[in-house]
Amino acid sequence: MQNHQFRLTSRPAGAVQRSDFSYGSEAVRALVEGEVLVQIKYVSLDPAMRGWMNASENSYMPPVGIGEVMRAIAAGKVIDSRNDGFAVGDHVTGLLGVQEYAISSGQGLFKVDAALAPLPLFLGTLGMTGMTAYFGLLDVGQPKEGDTVVVSGAAGAVGATVGQIAKIKGARVVGIAGGADKCRYLVEELGFDAAIDYKSEDVAAALKQHCPNGVNVFFDNVGGEILDAVLAKLAMGARVVICGAISQYNNLEAAKGPANYLQIMVKRATLRGVMVSDYYPRAKEAITDMAGWIRAGKLKTREDVVAGLESFPETFNKLFDGSNNGKLVLKVA
């Protein structure tokens, strides 16, 4: 059995290129005691993966080594097992990599109920993406009823979930996204109170218009100029949730820090990050709530499923040019 896979061969400068990877195949080896063989069906493409490709010593995970299979969360089916915890036919998710088959020790491998929802949903709203939104907003952002919540990257997988949960919790929600179609989607389909198109609007002026009482919670996926614009509009006692900085990940120069950070002091605000792995022990709480909201029609999900493992480098770059629509997932043929 041949396993096609992407291995990292050089550290990308800026946007990733096909030449930063090798795409090859090798035979799947036999399992040893305790191992599980997973046939991967879907690979999750997440902005964080760009950071894993860098040689940073200050990240929350070691970088992917040169020559290693590119790290990614994926979902698949157990097709062989020498681990009592997993049976052939089980559906699982975990850090299985950009490849067709993965051998796992079982550690960090989660069983999911494929009868409950389509497999890609366990990479999105019912997976890390949803948990990041859920705990980042509710645990770190702590919106109160009537608060104004602003979310950047609002049409992205995390952002769209954050905004809808904030609505469920009674907040007024303003999304920042790129393009008229995405903004229309946020307001008309997801029920956001307003959307700001950063590609065509003056974000500062639009924030002033849509957030007359300032911003109580800002959930930031983007960083850069958008973070600065929102910092200038914080309400007293605001909570700023740092989830990512997608505008900065492909930067060749040093990332741009938020020049307006002193507003944290002026507005008695708090800036904290969200790391989804800290919330694994509370996963059930999030999944139960979100599955319920999905069933009740209060939480809409959207997956952007692109077929073909071999398109990985080009498909991954859709995250950064804003051309994906919803949770980006690679379907393994």
- Give me the residues that bind its own copies (CB under 8 A), please: 58-60, 223, 228, 232, 242-245, 254-266, 268-275, 278
Between CA 207 and CA 166 the distance in angstroms is 17
Q: Comparing C-alpha atoms, which of 199, 198, 231 is closest to residue 214?
A: 231
Between CA 198 and CA 153 the distance in angstroms is 10
Torsion of CA 26, 30, 35, 37, to 10 degrees: 50
Tell the smallest beta-carbon distance from residue 152 to its own copies (Å).
14
18 vs 282, which CB is nearer to its own copies?
282
221 vs 315, which CB is nearer to its own copies?
221
Tell the smallest beta-carbon distance from residue 273 to its own copies (Å).
2
If you search the block for the tokens 């022990």, which residue do you land on?
281
Q: CB-hemisphere CA count at 13 Å for 94?
A: 22
Tell the smallest beta-carbon distance from residue 220 to its own copies (Å).
10
119 vs 232, which CB is nearer to its own copies?
232
66 vs 236, which CB is nearer to its own copies?
236
Between CA 81 and CA 32 the distance in angstroms is 9
End-to-end CA distance of the chain: 15
Tell the smallest beta-carbon distance from residue 241 to its own copies (Å).
9
18 vs 268, which CB is nearer to its own copies?
268
46 vs 228, which CB is nearer to its own copies?
228
Between CA 262 and CA 216 the distance in angstroms is 16
Q: What phi and psi, each to the nearest 5 degrees, are found at residue 316? A: -55, -40
Tell the smallest beta-carbon distance from residue 323 to its own copies (Å).
24
115 vs 254, which CB is nearer to its own copies?
254
Q: Comparing C-alpha atoms, which of 219, 218, 220, 224 is closest to residue 255?
A: 224
146 vs 257, which CB is nearer to its own copies?
257
Helix (H) or strand (E) holding 230: helix 224-231
Tokens, residue 30: 């036999």
Q: Comparing C-alpha atoms, which of 316, 319, 302, 305 is closest to residue 160?
A: 302
Tell the smallest beta-carbon distance from residue 197 to its own copies (Å).
24
| Cα-Cα-Cα-Cα dihedral sign, residues 272, 273, 277, 283 | positive
Tell the smallest beta-carbon distance from residue 60 to its own copies (Å).
5
Tell the smallest beta-carbon distance from residue 242 to its own copies (Å).
5
